[in-house]
Amino acid sequence: MKRSTIFFINLLLLQGIRCAGSHSIWILATLTIGHTPFPEFIAVVMLDDIQLFYYDSDVRKLIYKHHRSEHEQAEQEDAKLIFGDQYRSMKDRASFSKHLLNHTQGVHVQQRMVGCELLDHHTPGPLRSWDAFNTVNHEELHFSMEHSSLHSKGLWPTMWSHIERDTVEWLFANVYTPACIRFLKKYLNIMKNDVMKKVKPRVRLLQKRLPDTGGVRVTCLATGFYPRHINLTLLRDGQPVPDHQITGGELLPNGDETYQMRKSLEVSREELQQHHYTCTAQHLSLDNKLDIHLDIDPGGQHVPTVPLVLSLGVALLLLCVTGAIIAYRKCSTRHTGIGQQQTQQVQLLTLPT
């Protein structure tokens, strides 16, 4: 089952290629053949990176993730028709592929991902669809509203007759794409506070000594940003470091619905002294690109200089306050003792003879 996730992971990574100002809606569906503890059919609807609904063949209704619709009853009826049709379609294709490839035993997975996007200025983008059996892509469809053309490849399209292809192209142009765009616009309006938010990245350029090699790892780190599109570049003497020298670069989620990305480069201590390294970030939340320089000593750990200075300052302040309190207490004790001696002397002077 773990290998079956590769198909969706790779496709989701492709979304990062699209324009940073665009938005998309995706249906990710999985059908499982064979005995597993999971429902036979599962579908998730995603607006950008936010889950809207969940549907499976056991519950047979939409499970809302973030909101409850005013038209829930109508949406539930539509969901039964849409996902019921997807369920049957994927089941037929999985059965055909299973017999075609002579897979008679074991667990097999049919997956589908279909969605559309709005580009900058709300221009409709292409409608895309992928089908895979056991992580092998058997169908890829790409319909462009701008050119009114359907591009396809894979096992299924090669089996279509001219009539079947014309029918599919007509459905993509007149039913699927308009419906997908309307659905996307609707939920962009409903979820605008979530998908339109902008959170600035916290960017640092760090260096850490590597005891095993004696070299230094230079890391460009951006974290806590939203939306997920970011252009993070590690520069050497003002020029981008070649990709084959870079490790990392994957977009990773944080636990607070923001994202992080890091890119690292291993260099010798001599190279570190000979060159100047800079981390540059471009993000929708930033008016201009952000340039960050190295902020720690090569022999240190990932501890920035500024927080270290602040920590030392706080420690010094606490030390001064503690010393002042001790001095005050000593002074108070001394004055109290002198006052008591003076009182005793006065009492002695007033004793009767």
Q: Are residues 71 and 139 in the same domain?
A: yes
Contact 238, 275 (CB under 8 A): no
Q: Are residues 33 and 124 in the same domain?
A: yes
pLDDT at 140: 92
Task: With a cut of 60, say whether residue 334 has pLDDT above it.
Answer: no
Q: Are residues 144 and 274 in the same domain?
A: no
pTM metric for this prediction:
0.65
Write down the mean pLDDT value for the chain.
80
Q: Are residues 168 and 208 in the same domain?
A: no
Q: Are residues 100 and 146 in the same domain?
A: yes
Structure-token match 């706080």, residue found: 314
Any domain includes 241? yes
DSSP state of 242: P
Q: Are residues 56 and 18 in the same domain?
A: yes
What would the pLDDT profile of 295-315 be if each residue is shown by its tens digit? 544 444 443 434 444 555 556
Any domain includes 274? yes
Q: Are residues 294 and 279 in the same domain?
A: yes
In the listed set 160, 195, 230, which residue is the last one of a domain according to the structure?
Answer: 195
Task: With a cut of 60, say whether residue 8 has pLDDT above it.
Answer: no
Q: Are residues 222 and 78 in the same domain?
A: no
Domain of residue 157, CATH code = 3.30.500.10
Q: Are residues 151 and 69 in the same domain?
A: yes
* Between 335 and 198, the higher pLDDT residue: 198
pLDDT at 203: 95
* Between 179 and 315, the higher pLDDT residue: 179
Any domain includes 303? no
Question: How sure is the predictor about 195, in pLDDT bands with cuts at 50, 70 and 90?
Answer: confident
Closest of 278, 180, 266, 304 to residue 220, by C-alpha: 278
Q: Are residues 185 and 247 in the same domain?
A: no
Any domain includes 228? yes
Average pLDDT, integer, range 121-137: 88
| Beta-bridge partners for 23 | 118
Any domain includes 277? yes
What's the total number of domains in the chain?
2
Domain of residue 256, CATH code = 2.60.40.10
Q: Are residues 248 and 278 in the same domain?
A: yes
Taking the C-alpha atoms of residue 204 and residue 176, their distance in angstroms, rounded to an integer, is 44
Q: Are residues 157 and 232 in the same domain?
A: no
Burial class (CB in 10 A: 0-12, 13-18, 19+), 261: buried
Any domain includes 130? yes
Any domain includes 324? no
pLDDT at 202: 95
Any domain includes 349? no
Beta strands in the chain (DSSP E): 23-33, 41-47, 50-56, 63-64, 108-118, 124-133, 136-144, 149-153, 202-209, 216-225, 230-236, 239-240, 247-248, 252-253, 259-267, 277-283, 290-293
Closest of 91, 134, 117 to residue 23, by C-alpha: 117
Contact 133, 150 (CB under 8 A): no
pLDDT at 333: 53
In the listed set 273, 298, 323, which residue is the last one of a domain according to the structure?
Answer: 298
Write out the residue range of the structural domain in which residue 228 sits. 202-298
pLDDT at 323: 63
Among the listed ranges 8-12, 60-64, 113-117, which one has the minimum average pLDDT value?
8-12
pLDDT at 19: 47
Question: How sure is the predictor about 24, in pLDDT bands with cuts at 50, 70 and 90?
Answer: very high
Task: With a cut of 50, say whether residue 154 has pLDDT above it.
Answer: yes
